[in-house]
Amino acid sequence: MKQMVVPSILSADFSRLAEEIDLVVSKGAERLHLDIMDGHFVPNLTFGPMIVNAVDRLTDVHLEAHLMMENPSKFIPQFIEAGVDTLMIQQETCPHLHKDLHLIKEHGGRAGVVVNPATPVSLIREVLPDVDHILIMTVNPGFGGQSFIETMIPKIQETREMIGSREIDLQVDGGIDLGTIGKARNAGANLFVVGSSIFGEPDPGKAYQDLTSKLGVPV
C-alpha cells in the first residue's frame, strides 16, 4: 500500500483555508483529512457537511472524513454527498458496524473503521472483509496537539498482521511528527494523519515535505 502523509485541516487557519490547503497540495499532498466532532462522543465540536463541501470545491484531492460522533449512520449519506471519498466511523459508536460499513459503500464511499487507544483491535476482525481502511488512534480523540501514545506501536503491528494480504490501508492519527512517523511506519502503518506538525509550523508546505521525506517518499 502507498505510504502517504495526510494533512488534517483541523489544525489549519480557517480564515485562510483555501491558501492553507494550497500550501500542502502544491507540495504533493494527495489526500486531506477532515475531523468531524459532534460534542457528544468527543467533547469538541468542529464542522459538518457544508464545510466538507466547501473543501471539496477548493481541491480535487482525495477527501477522507473521520466521524467522531454518535449515531454516524444518520449522516453517512450527507457526508458522501458533500464530497467525502473515504468515510471512517468509530467502532465504539456503531453497534451495527457491519451494516454501517455497507451503508458507506452503498452510497459510493470507501469504508473505514476507527478504534480508540483502549479498544482492542480484535473487535474489528469480523468486519475485515467489509473495510477498505483502518485507522488506529494514537491519542484519545477530540483534540489536536496531543502526544503520541507509545504503547500503540504493538497495536499497529497486530493490526498489520491481522490485515495480512488484504488491500486495506492502515492509518494512524495522533501525535505524528518527525520523531514518531518513522516508528508508526516501521510498525506497519502506511497512512499518517498530521495536523499541528504541519499547519502549526511557519511553513506548512515545507513541514509536509519534511515529514514525507521521513517516509523515504520523493518530494
Active site (catalytic) residues: 35, 173
186 vs 193: CA distance, rounded Å: 16
Residue 206, classified by CB atoms within 10 Å of its CB into exposed (0-12), middle (13-18) or buried (19+), is middle
